[in-house]
Amino acid sequence: TAGCPPERAELAIDAFATLHARFWGATDPRADFLTLVPDPFIDYLAGQFPGAEGALLGELTRRVWRHDSLPPTTVLHGDARVGNMLFPADADGQFVFIDWQAARLGKGAFDVAYFLTLSMTPEHRRSHGDALLARYHGGLVSGGVTDYGLAELQRDYQLAAALVLAFVSLPMMSAESSATGANAADLRVLAEVWTRRMVALAEDLDVASIAAEVGMEPDALRAALGQKQKVPGP
C-alpha cells in the first residue's frame, strides 16, 4: 500500500520499453495468438456504469478503448501492477514480469498508465510521472522505435489513463468479492488504496485534450469525472 518508489518504478518502465519495442507494430509471429479486445466486450463493459452520468462515461470508455486498438499496437502485459513484478535483489539481478493471464494487444501507453496509477502513490505519480514517461519513450527509441514521438506518446498516455480509470473503476473486482477471512480483509485494503489512486487520477486527467481527441464535450466529461471547474486567476 506504500506504493512503488521512483527508483524501482524506473526498472518497471525500462522493462515496459523493452517489451513493447520488441513487439512494436505487433508484427512478430510470436504475438499472433494475442488479439485486440473485441467490440462486444467493450460495449458490455461500457454499459455497466450506473447513475445519471453512466451513458456519458460508457461512451468515453468505448472511444478511448477503440483508440487503444489503433496502430501502432504492441504486446501488453495487461495487468502491469507492482504485485505482478519481481524486482532484483541487487544490481546483478533481473527484473521479471509474472502473471500474464491478461496479456493482449494494444497501446503500450496502457501498461504505463496502469502501472503509474495503481502502483505509485498519487504524490509520486505527480512528481515523477513526466520523467518516467520520457524515460519510457527513450527506451522505445533505444529499442528501435523511431516513428513515435514523445508528443504522440503523451497524447496516448492521457487516453490510456482515461481507459485505466474506466477499466478499474467498474466492478471488475467483484469476482473477488467471494473471498473470506484474511483474503477478504486484504482485498478491502487494496480496494481502498486503489480507490484513492483512481480518484486522484480522475482529478489529474487532461479532460480538454481527451475530449478533443475522442470528439466529446469537455465540460460534460469534467462533471461526469467529478472534476471541479478551474476558475481563472485575476
pLDDT, tens digit (0-9, with 9 covering 90-100), for 198-213: 999 999 999 999 999 9
Task: From residue 153, give the alpha-carbon distance in Å to each of 73, 108, 136, 142, 159.
Answer: 12, 9, 9, 15, 10
Q: How far apart are CA 112 and CA 44, in angstroms?
A: 25
**Rounded distance, CA 200 to CA 156, Å?**
19
Spatial separation of the C-alpha atoms in residues 168 and 118, rounded to whole Å: 9
Beta-ladder partners of 215: none
Q: Which amino acid is at 206?
A: D
User: DSSP character for 176?
Assistant: G
Question: What is the per-residue pLDDT for 175?
Answer: 46
Mean pLDDT over all residues of the chain? 90
Q: What is the pLDDT of residue 229?
A: 57
- pLDDT tens column, 38-70: 999 999 989 988 888 999 999 999 999 999 999
pLDDT greater than 50 at residue 231: no
**pTM reported for the whole predicted model:** 0.91
pLDDT higher for 5 or 1?
A: 5
